Each structure stands twice: as C-alpha cells, then as structure tokens.
Amino acid sequence: MSRTLERLLQRPELQLAVGETRIDINDDTGPFRVPSPHLLVIGERILASPSGAVALRHGLELAWMRGIAPDDPVACGVLSARLAGLYLVGETAAFQESRGDADPYLILLRRLSGDLPEGRALVLLWKILSAHQPGQKADLNQTIYDRIVCAWPMAQPAEHLIATGGDPRLRLDPATGFNAYGCMPRPQPGVVTFSSCTASSLSERGYMAAEAARRRMLAGFLGERSGRVLTEETDRIRASLLGHYEVADRAEAVLAPSGTDATMLATALVSTKRPHAPTTVVVMELSETGAGVPQAAAGRHFADAASLGEKAMRGDVIEGFNTNLRLRTVSLRKVDGRPHTPEEIEAEIARAVAETGRHGRVILHAIDLSKTGILA
C-alpha cells in the first residue's frame, strides 16, 4: 500500500468503503478503472491529486456496485458517479473553490449531484463514464433508465443521507462541513463526543451500520426487491429495537427523525383518539432534554422547517393536534446543580401526575438518559 493511499484511508468513510475491494496502484494518469467486480485500478498520481479522495470514493463505490450488479454496467457507472458527486459536494467550500472549473472530472461529477439528467444528456455522460469500465459498451435504454431512477435516492454517501430528512439542526456549513453543534455526519477520529445524537459526530460503528443499510437498500433497488426495499429495512430496524429491549411481544416501535420528533409523535398518537380532551403533558426538566421539547410535546412546531423540508412557524400548533394541552415540567436538579435523588424525582413525577390527572388525561414522557446522564 502506498503512503498516499494509506493517508487517504485514514478518512473513516473511505476506509469503511473498501470492504472486499482490492486496490491496485499503478502509474496511470488517466481515469481509474474497474475491470472486474471488487477490483479498483487507480494511478498514484490520481490519488496524490487534490481530487484523490473523491476519485477513490468513486472507484470504491463502482467496484462494489459491479459486485452486486455485474450485468448492469450502465446503472453502476451512473449511480456511482452520482454518489461521488455528492461526496464532492460534502467536501469543504475551500476545496471546491480551489479546484474552480479547471478539473473536467469534477465538473462531470457536479452535474450528477443534483437531479437525474434526462435523455441525450445522460447518454453523453455515460459515454464519458464508461471509460472507468474497460470493455463495457452497453447502451442506455429505457429499462436501465427506469432502474437508475428507482435507485437514484440511495446513490448517496451515507453521511449525506444522514444529514437529510431532519430539521435545520442537521444542516452543514459548506465552509467547514460541520453542523451548528460543530459536528459532522461521519466519524472524526481523535474527537471524543458524549452529547446527544444531534450534537455528536457519528461513531465508526454507527457509520458502518448506516453504510451497510444504504448498501442493502441500493442492492435491493438494483435487484428484484425495488418495491419492498424501504419497508423491509424499516421493519428490520423496528424488529432489532424491539428484540434488543425484549419487548417484541408487547410493544411496537415507531421510528422518528429525532428525539424531539419522537416526543411530538407521542402526543400525536394520543391526540388522534380524543383530539379535544383536556390533556396535560409531563416532561422532564427542559435543560436536560432539549430546547424544542416543550413545543413538540404540546403539538407545536419546534423549528422553522419540518423534517421533510416544508417551512414552518416555530410555536404554531400543528394541524390536527389537540389544542387543549398544557405542559408540566419535572425538575431533575436542585438550585445548586446537584441532581435530585431517584426517590425525589419519582415523588415529583407522582405529584405531577396526581395533580394533572384530575384535569383530564396525562402524557408522561420518561427519558432513558438525560443530557447530563440522569435517568428519569
């Protein structure tokens, strides 16, 4: 292994993408090649160039995809380039500006980082991309195009998927690659984070699980399971959670974009049955849960955008939620910062439920572990 490759593979997202792929390094200055499944041939000069990480990520994805769809070089070529284009977008703005419009390879990838090109434009792009797969002269037809359309949403780096479909807290600063909490959606070796899921960079174990899920779904979209992929994956996650907590025989699992969304969903489940009944929501101390928890627990927007991107007004009641709600908080720490004892917390919860229960229904939100490590 060359020192250049060794340096690049210190980036966890590249190291974890290697999998079963063999990497052969030569002196070529042309595009990398994937002559067969799980084999990447790439030049030392390419690896050492400013776009080396992008080319390596592209090549590793193509080599893996050829392993799951060896008879579909067109879809593999287009979709792997799409992933590389989004990986390029995930690089810092400083890197992208330093390259400008001088690198034809990066220009091509940028064209695939947005919407899927149509018709002749995609045919021309495939002719360029086919250079990465020697001897592959397949044409782009309607069947292949439809398969690409189906798999397009999953042709993204795991770190890109992780940062989408949530609220504005996940947005990354293009200048730094960090979110508002100073964290990244991919592992940061040497950085120790012990905060909430949003305020912690992804661990290597977490990234591996996310990448494995992405690859399972992409393989399904390219195979015979395209209509069942998302359902099967979410069912697998639910079953795993219920099995871990040994409650599969008496509970169901509901997946949510964030813990704050989960708080809101609990209120939603109750609101649908008796939408106008007086209800009190009991939550733990807000500084131990999250700034958006009060609004979410009361069925109100807690951010300026919903998880699917729609604009929202923070604090407004969400349509369909009970408007006859009130909030009651339980303190977890004393004035001097010392935590209440478990017995004191239990007594406070019991009082809150007893007081509010006389005024209608009660929704009690327990937390497995607060921001500072309290169980309540």
Taking the whole predicted model, whether its pTM rises above 0.85 is answered as no
Look-up of token digits 């990838």 = 109
The answer to whether residue 235 scores a pLDDT higher than 70 is yes
> For 275-323, how does the pLDDT look when each residue is reduced to its tens digit (9 = 90+)?
788 888 888 887 777 778 888 888 888 877 776 667 888 888 888 787 7
Q: What is the pLDDT of residue 171?
A: 80
Mean pLDDT of the chain: 85
In the chain, % of residues over pLDDT 70:
92
> Domain locations in the chain?
3-157, 259-364
Q: Burial level of 287, CB count in 10 A (0-12/13-18/19+)?
A: middle
Look-up of token digits 């729609």 = 310
Phi, psi (rounded to 5 degrees) for 157: -60, 150
Paired strand residues for 361: 279
Phi, psi (rounded to 5 degrees) for 327: -110, 140
> For 13-65, how does the pLDDT look when each residue is reduced to its tens digit (9 = 90+)?
898 899 899 999 988 777 899 999 999 999 999 999 888 999 999 999 999 99
C-beta of residue 33 within 8 angstroms of C-beta of residue 133: yes
